[in-house]
Structures are given as C-alpha cells and as structure tokens.
Amino acid sequence: MEPSYIVAIILGVILLLAVIFFLGRKKPELPQGRQESPRLATPDEPAKPSAAEKKGRQERATEKPKSVKSSETPPATREPASAGLTSTEQVSTKPEAETPPPREKKPESSAPEKAASEKPSTEASLRAKTAEEQLEEKKAEPSSKKAETPSEKKPTKPAVAPKAAAPRKQDVEGLRKGLSKVREKEGFFGRLRSLLTGKKELDPSIVEQLEDVLLTSDVGVKTTEVLLSAIRESLSRQELADDEKVWEALRAQAARILHVSGGGGLRLDSSPTVVMVVGVNGAGKTTTIGKLATQLKSEGKTVVLAAGDTFRAAAVQQLAVWGKRVGCEVVRGKDGANPGAVLFDAIQKAKEIGADVVLADTAGRLHTKTNLMDELTKVARTMTKALDGAPHETLLVLDATNGQNALQQAAMFKEVLPLTGIVLTKLDGTAKGGVILGVTAEQGVPVRYIGIGERAEDLREFDADEFVEAMLGRPSKAEEAAA
C-alpha cells in the first residue's frame, strides 16, 4: 500500500474522531432570550441519541413554533409566555413529557405535533387562571360590601337622633296616668281644684282651707307651713287676685322644694358602683332592685345582684328569679347567713368579672328597733372593707301609701346611714301623694326614682319639673268633662 493512501486513511480517521468529539461535547446553555439555529440531523448519527443530541432536539423543538408565522400559531400557544414562565422553565419541563423515539422522522415534521400537544395544557392553565381570578373577585366582594356598610348607616344616625328628644310630653301624660288617683276628685289635685276653680276673688280665709287640704294629703306640717307662708304674704300684698295666680304660686313653691341637688337616677362614678338598698318590710326593696337591674341591663351595664336579705328565704328566691329573668349574676348565701359576708362576696365577684353595678338587697328593718338599725351600719362597714368608698349609693325605699309613717322612716334611717337618695314606690296606689313634698323638704334628700306601676319601665327617674306638671298642671279636657 502506497504511503499516500495511508496518510489519507489517517486523516479520515482523525476527521471522523473530530466529528464524533464535537458531537459528543456538552453544549453550553444559552442565556434567556437568545436562540440557536436548528442543527440538521446527519446520517452518521447513532441509533440511540446521546444526551447532547437529546438536548439539541429539545431546543430545536422549542425553536420551531416560534419560527412559525403568527397566523399558523394558535393564540393559546402564546399565552404561557405572558403567564410568568421563563424560557428556561419551558425548556426543562415540556420535552420531558414527549421524548422522540429513535429512528423518528425529521424535527420539522414533529414540530406541529408538539405545538398541538402544548395547546391543551395552555388551555388548562387559562381555565385555572380564570378560576383563580373568579375566586379573587368573590373574596373581594365581601370586603367592598363591608366598606360600604358604614356609609350606608351614617345617614340613619341623624334620622334617629331627633326622635330621642320628642317623648318629653308623652312622659308627662304617662306620669299623669300613673298619678290618676292623685288627680281624681277626691285626691290631692282634685281637692285643690275644687277649692280654687271658679273664684274670681280670694280672701285670707282661703289659706285655712288650703292648709286642711295639704295636711290631709300627707304633705306634712313643716312643708305645709312653708308653702302657705309664701301664699299668705302674696295675698296680703294683693298679688294673688284670682285662682290662676294661686295655682302658679303653689306650683312654683312645689318645684322649689323638689329641686334638691343630686335628684334623678343613679350616679355611676365608680367601677363597680355599689348601691345599698334599705327600707322597712313591704316597701318594695327587692322589686325595685329587679326593675333597676332591668333598666341598667338594657343600657349595656353589667350588674351583680347581692341577696343580703338572708333572714327571709322568699326574698332570696325572688331576687334569684329577677336575676334569671334579666340575665344578672346573683350572689347569695345560706338561709340565716351573715348578710355582711354575702355582700362582701358579691363585691369581690363584681370586681372579678368587671361588673359596672352591684345592687345589694338588705333585710327589712323596723325603724323603731334600734338594735336592728345598728346592724345596717355594720353591713355598710363590711362593704367598705370589700371596696373603698362602698356603698357609693344608699337608697331608701319608701311606700307612698304609708303617708306620715314614711316621713318618720326617712328621719330614722337618715340618722343611721348617710342616705344619698329616696325611691318612692306605689304612687299609683294613693290619692294623697303629698308625702314626696314632705320627705324632700324635711330631710333634704333627693328623690331618685318614683314607682307608678308594676312594669320595669314604671320605675321612672325623678324629674321635679315633670312631676309638678303631672301632679299640679292644668286639668286635661277629659278631667274637666269628668268634673
């Protein structure tokens, strides 16, 4: 063999080895956005493509759809590029699902098939995207509605505000109904009206007749003298020429007596505010506590009821019924237990739960029994140990039907306890009603509440002007017709 042929064979072998070396070398990855021109398959490729060849085929498969015209490419195939996937992720994920088998056709013929296979996956991603958008829209709807609700409720507040100030006149009429016996012909107001109405001229003898009416209406001797002294002076100066001016003078004097500082409602200045309720048996202490608890609960206050009347089992049961009805905590002890210990536990319970008010019931006391009255001072001292300043309110409950006896009760209880207010109950059951003037004038203790019925709302906060208008105001048309 000639040397030239040997050199040619060696060169051919070297060239073949060079081709195989370049084909088997790992191709570097191109940066994102750059593309490589497709490499055509050669007949010298092995039956099983190498890793480099597989990667070259994958790159050619991804390049082919991009080189196709926009009219031939379905719009769904362009969506993944805007869906947030990078070109590196597309190359690394899609070809794994579809690897071309050996001895397959040219890459040009497989490109449309790959584009068709990518279409369902892109449509699925679009459907998933729209579903996520719908879910986000649904989540956004409640928040937008919540944002609109405050603006919708704002117009309603000014509309409700004017209605709160209107019932003033209706309250006077309702109070007049509760004081119907006082305003009857045989009642306090009715007797004054029959005495004064229709008289154009008044003489000094009218004062004696007024005195008789006031004394028999439980106004009291001292209070009657205060009222009549002003009328006598006015009559002597001939300032009261007719019955209308006498009515005005009586109303002015009554309003002056009833305008005592601190009247009307409770003063909730402490937390909790401890209210001690005292009075004789049958005055209505437990019922008053239940009605107060109902009103305070409706105002959003947290109330604790203390069953301090441990000597009367019925009182404890009655308070428990009120507590269940209103929804208040009731602290009670065994029958005959120390009332001071029960009230101490009630105050501690109120501090634990953060209550606003403690309404403490006490056993009924005969105001003539000194030893029983002294026990109230011990109970009050025990409450002070439980909470500094307690009791913050000491309310004396008086039965208006007791008349002059109620005046004596107020005097005796005031000697033992620092009374802060009076609750006058059962005003709807008496035709006299003048006791409210006597108690306020003689004891100087403000009236906080008056009771004119059995319902919880019939326990009303006392307002002096409203009460004078209801008791001594001009008669209504129905009253004039009945007279």
Residue 470 falls inside a structural domain? no
Annotated binding residue 284: yes
Instruction: Give the range among 72-76, 292-296, 403-407 with minimum mean pLDDT.
Output: 72-76
Q: How far is CA 267 from CA 21, 204, 359, 420, 421, in A?
A: 101, 45, 13, 10, 10
pLDDT at 468: 93
pLDDT at 45: 43
Annotated binding residue 362: yes
Predicted confidence (pLDDT) per residue in 104-117, tens digit: 444 444 444 444 44
Q: How confident is the model at residue 423 (pLDDT cuts 50, 70, 90)?
A: very high
Average pLDDT value for the chain: 76
Is a pLDDT exceeding 80 seen at residue 366? no
The tokens 């009805």 sit on which residue? 325
Q: Report which residue type is found at 214.
A: L
Annotated binding residue 381: no
Mean pLDDT of 209-213: 91
Number of neighbouring beta carbons within 10 Å of residue 97: 9
Annotated binding residue 285: yes
pLDDT at 101: 47
* Three-state DSSP state, 359: strand
Residue 79 falls inside a structural domain? yes
Q: How confident is the model at residue 26 (pLDDT cuts 50, 70, 90)?
A: low
Annotated binding residue 280: yes
pLDDT at 319: 95
Q: How confident is the model at residue 185 (pLDDT cuts 50, 70, 90)?
A: confident
Q: How far is CA 239 from CA 250, 291, 313, in A?
A: 13, 46, 59
Is a pLDDT exceeding 70 seen at residue 470? yes
Q: What percent of the chain has pLDDT over 90?
A: 41
Q: How confident is the model at residue 356 (pLDDT cuts 50, 70, 90)?
A: very high
pLDDT at 104: 44
Instruction: Give the range among 24-33, 39-48, 237-246, 398-407 with minimum mean pLDDT.
Output: 39-48
Domain count, the chain: 1
Residue 353 falls inside a structural domain? no
Residue 61 falls inside a structural domain? yes
Q: Are 406 and 398 in contact, with CB atoms under 8 Å apart?
A: yes
Annotated binding residue 429: no
Mean pLDDT of 271-280: 96
Rounded to a whole number of angstroms, the CA Rg of the chain reads 49
Is a pLDDT exceeding 50 seen at residue 191? yes
- Cα(299)–Cα(292) distance, integer angstroms: 11
- Cα(11)–Cα(338) distance, integer angstroms: 123
Annotated binding residue 440: no
Residue 421: phi, psi to the nearest 5?
-170, 165
pLDDT at 466: 93
Residue 459: phi, psi to the nearest 5?
-90, 105
Annotated binding residue 361: yes
Q: Compare 138 and 249 and report the one with higher pLDDT.
A: 249
The tokens 């080189």 sit on which residue? 67
The tokens 């005195």 sit on which residue? 211
- Cα(415)–Cα(367) distance, integer angstroms: 10
Instruction: Give the range among 241-245, 266-270, 280-284, 434-438 with minimum mean pLDDT.
Output: 241-245
pLDDT at 392: 96
Residue 50 falls inside a structural domain? yes
- Cα(483)–Cα(481) distance, integer angstroms: 5
Range of the domain at 106: 32-125
Buried b (16+ CB within 10 A) or exposed e, 221-257: eebbebbbeebeebbeeeebeebebbbebbbebbeeb
Query: Beta strand pairing status for 447-451 and 459-461?
Result: antiparallel
Mean pLDDT of 377-381: 93
DSSP type of residue 445: P
Mean pLDDT of 444-467: 94
Predicted confidence (pLDDT) per residue in 164-174, tens digit: 333 434 478 88
H-helix or E-strand containing 306? strand 303-307
Highest mean pLDDT among 57-71, 196-210, 411-425: 411-425
pLDDT at 370: 74
Written as six digits, the tokens of 367 are: 């105001």
Q: Report which residue type is found at 436.
A: I
Torsion of CA 468, 470, 476, 481, to 10 degrees: -100
Q: What percent of the chain has pLDDT over 70?
A: 66
Predicted confidence (pLDDT) per residue in 27-63, tens digit: 555 444 444 444 444 444 445 555 556 666 665 655 5
Q: Are 309 and 363 in contact, with CB atoms under 8 Å apart?
A: yes
Q: Report which residue type is found at 437.
A: L
pLDDT at 9: 87
Annotated binding residue 291: no
Residues shown for the chain: 483
Q: Are 448 and 422 in contact, with CB atoms under 8 Å apart?
A: yes
Mean pLDDT of 235-262: 84
Mean pLDDT of 413-430: 94
Residue 273 falls inside a structural domain? no
The residues pairing with 357 across neighbouring beta strands, listed in sequence order, are 273, 303
- Cα(476)–Cα(185) distance, integer angstroms: 13
pLDDT at 454: 92
Q: Compare 133 and 269 and report the one with higher pLDDT.
A: 269
Written as six digits, the tokens of 350 are: 């109120």
Going by C-beta distance under 8 Å and a sequence separation of 6 or more, which residues neighbour residue 112?
none
Predicted confidence (pLDDT) per residue in 1-11, tens digit: 567 788 888 88
| Nearest CA among 22, 25, 88 for reference residue 58 | 88
Written as six digits, the tokens of 123 are: 């449509």
CB-based burial of residue 311 (10 Å sphere; 0-12 exposed, 13-18 middle, 19+ buried)? Answer: middle
Helices and strands, counts by H and E, the chain: 19, 8
pLDDT at 130: 52
H-helix or E-strand containing 335? none
- Cα(17)–Cα(227) distance, integer angstroms: 136
pLDDT at 51: 59
Annotated binding residue 338: no
Is a pLDDT exceeding 80 seen at residue 161? no
Annotated binding residue 283: yes
Q: Report which residue type is found at 185.
A: K
Residue 83 falls inside a structural domain? yes
Residue 202 falls inside a structural domain? no
Q: How far is CA 476 from CA 144, 174, 192, 443, 480, in A?
A: 56, 13, 15, 33, 6
pLDDT at 261: 79
Q: Compare 200 and 225 and report the one with higher pLDDT.
A: 225
Annotated binding residue 172: no
Annotated binding residue 282: yes
pLDDT at 166: 37
What is the pTM assigned to this prediction? 0.65
Going by C-beta distance under 8 Å and a sequence separation of 6 or more, which residues neighbour residue 304?
272, 328, 329, 330, 331, 346, 349, 350, 353, 355, 357, 358, 359
pLDDT at 335: 78
Highest mean pLDDT among 19-33, 93-107, 295-309: 295-309
